[in-house]
Amino acid sequence: MSVSVNGINIAVRDLPAATDRYERLFGVKGEHVGPEGFAFPGLEGTKIDIDGFILNLITSTEEGTSVARFLERNGEGVFLFSAKVDDIDETVEQLRASGMPPLLAETMRGDYGAVNFIHPRELNGVQLELIEHP
C-alpha cells in the first residue's frame, strides 16, 4: 500500500473571500473547481497548489451536503485530510482488513480520479480522503 500526503480540505462559508485570503498568504493563484470536480454534488471550491501540497477550499452550494453539515456543527475549518494512493482498490481493501472500513461501498470515479473516504471516528476525528489521480 502506497499512501502519501495530497493536502487538506478546508470548509469555508465565503469561497471568494477565503480564496483571496489564502492566495495573498501564499502568493499563488488558486484554480476554481466547479461541481464536476467533486465526487458529490452541491460543492465547489478553489484548489491552491503550494509547492505540491494541495489546499482545497470548499463550500456547499446546497443544504444537506457533508460540507454544509460540517459548517453547521463545527464552523469553518479543516474538513478532511487527503492522501494520494497508487491503487485505490488495493488500499481500500488493506484498510478494510486492518479494521478501517471505507465510507463508500463502492469507490467513486470521475474526471477527478477515484476517491473513497475513511470515517472521522476511525482517525481521531479527522476524515481521510483516499484519492487516486487520473
Reported as a single tens digit per residue, the pLDDT across 74-112 is 999 999 999 999 999 999 999 999 999 999 999 999 988
Tell whether pTM > 0.85. Answer: yes
d(CA 83, CA 124): 16
CATH topology for 3-132? 2,3-Dihydroxybiphenyl 1,2-Dioxygenase; domain 1 (3.10.180)
In the chain, % of residues over pLDDT 90: 87
Q: Quick one: residue 14, left, alpha or beta (phi over 0 = left, psi -120 to 50 = alpha)?
A: beta
pLDDT at 2 over 90: no
Amino acid 94: pLDDT: 95
Determine the residue type at 77: G
